[in-house]
A and B are shown apart, each in its own frame.
Chain A
Amino acid sequence: MRRAGLLADVLLPGARAALSGRSGGVAVLAAWAFLWALSALRLGRIVATLGGGSADQWLALATLVACLVACPVAALGWLRREPRKASDAPAGPIDWEAFARHRQASIGLVLLAALILVALLTPYLAPFDPNAQHAVVATRFLPPSAAHPLGTDRFGRDVLSRVLYGARISLTIGFVAVAIAMTVGTLVGSGAGLAGGAVDAASMRGVDLLLSFPRLVLLITLVALFEPHLGLVILVLGLTGWMGTARIVRGQVLSIREEDYVQAARALGLGRWRILVRHVLPNALTPVIVAATLGVGNTILAEAALSFLGLGVQPPTASWGNMVASGRDVMLNAWWIAAFPGLAIVLTVMSFNLVGDGLRDALDPRHARGP
């Protein structure tokens, strides 16, 4: 009986959990089925990768293998444990169970995980080369069909493939730019909060000044000064997005440094850096993580706006923003060119926002238990 259960978990991971009504089981089972179907359908490309592929393809292959291993591991480990009751105390400082009970956040997380997976697997997923053009006159403006599920654009390029490749660009920009913004914001904010006095006042007035510029105008100005390319767009988005974080961190540091446990750490003779890194910042970063999650969504939106204006990612590289822009003129005749990348933006930003909301609850160790 136990061996049969073990076998079932390895061959069809998540199936037993799904049968007993756990949504986590359904997700694992769905991922398992999807991964095997993909491997079967794209066997040719996988074999070609083994014979010598680009870095992109190797990354996709590594992701595929990792996920195929992860599914049974999840079924054997995580899904076997009994879900904790709402009344019990959380096991650690991060209340993941509170997150799991937050239904919208769970949906957002699943969407997000799927999105990241798709971005990594794009070389295998995409039916066509995103930039390939053949017999443009015959293949352009084709409506969605079996061959081109999301249709083709004015150059006969497959919209689905371009949306998939656009996911990589958008997510890369979102994550890297937000990482830059959070780093700068945390440094400025904790510096201001710890130094206090004139340093604090000066840096916060600087932040106020920067915040009073409309971000898009700032972005357009900065990008227009230089030749637009991906690295510049990421840098500019990162360097215009840190002010909110700086404010949050400063406020947190100001209040946390008066907490008794920080005073106790001082009385124990712990060093200034140790107190900052081990006692102040970990407690200050909760709202930063939430802000970062929401920030990724906003950054993707800002990149789309920049690309839409022609200042972001440059054609022919596909980004959701420049795809919407290129479909703008033919919206009434070929709606699919702008609609699908637009939908991708909406879904992505929405899932980041949902996850951000859920994290807000899960990261507060003293949060009231219950949904």
Chain B
Amino acid sequence: MSGPAPSPARAGEGPLLEVEGIARTYAAPGGAFRRRGEAIHAVRDVTFQLRRGETLALVGESGCGKSTTARIVLGLERPDAGTVRFDGADVHGLSGADLLSFRRRAQIVFQDPVGSLNPRIRVGEALGEPLRVHGVVPRERVAARVAGLLRRVGLDPEDADRYPHEFSGGQRQRIGIARALSVEPDLVVADEPVSALDVSVQAQVLNLLSDLQRDLGLTYLFIAHDLAVVRHVARRVAVMYMGRIVESGTCEALFERPLHPYTRALLEAVPRPRPGRRVRAPVRGEARAGAVPEAGCPFEPRCTHPERDAACRATLPPLEHKRPEGWARCIKTPAWRVVEEMGPPAGVADEPPA
């Protein structure tokens, strides 16, 4: 991405976002009259980095921990383990003025265009409130800035006087984007920003997002379940399965030659404009927390890799370096070189075999 000259705020050294080994478990609530349920491991040992101005896509089916990762990255939820560093500072250790300035620099765009806007607040107020709270512009300039934000995302400044339910899904998503932009962030976490939209509208919103990235030098963590969408927005992709990153790498390589059977399955699920070439069923069954083996590869029960065997069921595959800028958690994919030789990967860290 060739953006404008970076502003002083984002001129720091090193990656903008460093996520290291974060994990989050949801305990099923216990109580005097309830049976203690099974704990759900939403996110386990997720590590990635995000450089300034780049887009990393986080991909996986629903329930794989993408959104929990997003909430932890933004400090909306605490991880049970691991750290999130934003511009070098531990996000979950921030408080007071530091926390407030982090809130200005990292924003979120949600999937659901209906639930993401307060139905009782006019659009102008939804955008103006953060401007006033953070003192982004002097009070008398707030209305003008709101109009500017609306214009920036392709809406009419007069829309400020309307309520969210008067807009279409695509328009509401633009309002959500404008709200995120109101505080002039560096990082925008887009949690499935187009999944709820019609295909024609999806393209418009994706174009808007990439225009904004070009003009404002934004960094995106782009969460999606649809690989077809990811191809247009991201250079790097991380694929998650049941709370873990199972493959990460550059977009082109991952699409050309996936390293993990799960990535292959996802790619084959993308509808292609070439009928008549039906592929075999790429996976069996569906992801269920109960169906995960205690030891071994979590994808093994659904895997269709021809060489899968007892070794797959024995130990959890480490995230191995398989090719330049390509990591995967599959013992049946030949390793490229030993991880230690490579120094810290942009993707991931190993965890000790279970």
Contact = CB atoms under 8 A, between A and B. Distances in A.
Given A264-B176, A271-B133, A259 B163 contact: no
B222 interface: no
Contacts of B107: 267-268
A274 interface: yes
Interface string B110-146: 1010111111110000000110011000000000000
A328 B117 CA distance: 57
A263 B133 contact: no
B120 A260 contact: no
A268 B106 CA distance: 8
A266 B115 CA distance: 15
Contact of A365 (B110, B165, B182, B183): B165
Contacts of A365: 119-120, 163, 165
Interface string A244-286: 0000000000000001110111111111001000110011000
Contacts, number: 73
A272 to B, nearest CB: 12
Contacts of A282: 118, 120
Interface stretch (B96-104, B152-160, B280-288): B96-104
Contacts of B176: 264
Nearest to A201: B31
* Interface size class of chain B, counting residues whose CB lies under 8 Å from the partner chain: 20 to 34
A93 interface: yes
Given A89-B166, A283-B118, A263 B130 contact: no
B76 interface: yes
B118 A279 contact: yes
B76 A266 contact: yes
Contacts of B71: 263
B150 to A, nearest CB: 17
Contact of B115 (A90, A259, A265, A270): A259
Give the one of B118, B121, B129, B134 with max A CB within 10 A.
B118
A366 interface: yes
A105 B103 CA distance: 46
A283 B119 contact: yes
Contact of A283 (B100, B120, B134, B163): B120
Nearest to A263: B76
Interface residues of A, number: 24
A93 B163 contact: yes
A237 to B, nearest CB: 30
Nearest to B191: A260
B74 interface: yes
Given A261-B117, A264-B179, A269 B165 contact: no
A269 to B, nearest CB: 3
A173 B185 CA distance: 53
Contact of A268 (B99, B121, B179): B179
Nearest to A259: B115
Interface string A58-95: 00000000000000000000000000000001101100
A261 B133 contact: no
B68 to A, nearest CB: 12
A311 B13 CA distance: 77
A269 B116 contact: no
Contact of A267 (B76, B115, B121, B163): B76
B13 to A, nearest CB: 25
B101 to A, nearest CB: 9
A90 B71 CA distance: 34
A261 B130 contact: no
B179 A269 contact: no
Contacts of A366: 114, 119, 165
Contacts of A267: 74, 76, 103, 106-108
B119 to A, nearest CB: 5
Given A261-B117, A264-B116, 18 more contacts: A90-B165, A93-B163, A259-B115, A261-B116, A263-B76, A264-B108, A264-B179, A267-B107, A267-B108, A268-B130, A269-B103, A269-B130, A269-B183, A270-B129, A270-B133, A283-B118, A365-B120, A366-B114
Interface of A: 89-90, 92-93, 201, 259-261, 263-271, 274, 278-279, 282-283, 365-366
The 5 closest A-B pairs by CB, nearest first: A269-B103, A260-B116, A260-B110, A260-B115, A261-B118
